[in-house]
Amino acid sequence: AEVPHYTYGHLLMAAYYAGDIDNASEFEKKGYKKIYKNMEFLGIIGDFLMYYAYTDAGKALERYPKFVPWSFNNFTTHLRKFDFAVSAAAMFKKLMKDGTQSAKLPLTKEHPAYHADDTYSLQELFDYHYKIAEDIGSKLDKRNQNTGFIDKLKAKLDRIA
């Protein structure tokens, strides 16, 4: 029963990058409502945040605070945390590239970058997620004796260059 949940998220950015905006929009509409209440889909939610960074920056920034606390949860797997961190870093890179340098976000005090005034530098949030992705990716690559995770991180960020 989870196959469409993952599938919509995986196809979302592929369709968008291929210029198939109609299908990307349809995947977003069908997919988001299947996953937004379930922490199990944290890694896929990152793909939706990336999509919003390209299509609706306000929605990307509005939805990020809802999901980032899930990445602090010890029941979330390293793979999900990695996928979310990669997508969050890419989202912030895209938003900065498009001219947004800071934002007011209602982050919780458990967020390591928390500021009482709720004003955040997107560079600070990019750096935070990049470091998490790099740390987890390096550990998984060491375990797997390859560079697959760090390659994925670099490829996702290079796409925004």
What's the pLDDT score for residue 3? 77
When pLDDT is averaged across residues 29-44 and rounded to a whole number, the result is 94
Task: Calculate the CA 140 to chain-centre distance.
Answer: 18
What's the pLDDT score for residue 26? 96
pLDDT digits (tens, 9 = 90+) for 58-114: 999 999 999 999 998 877 899 999 999 999 999 999 999 999 999 999 999 999 999
Closest CA to 160 of 73, 8, 29, 54: 54
What's the pLDDT score for residue 161? 65
**Choice between 62 and 1, residue whose per-residue pLDDT is larger:** 62
Max CA pair span of the chain: 43
What's the pLDDT score for residue 41? 93
Query: Is residue 155 pLDDT above 60, yes or no?
Result: yes
What's the pLDDT score for residue 1? 55
- Measured CA distances, 65 to 33, 57, 110 (Å): 17, 14, 12
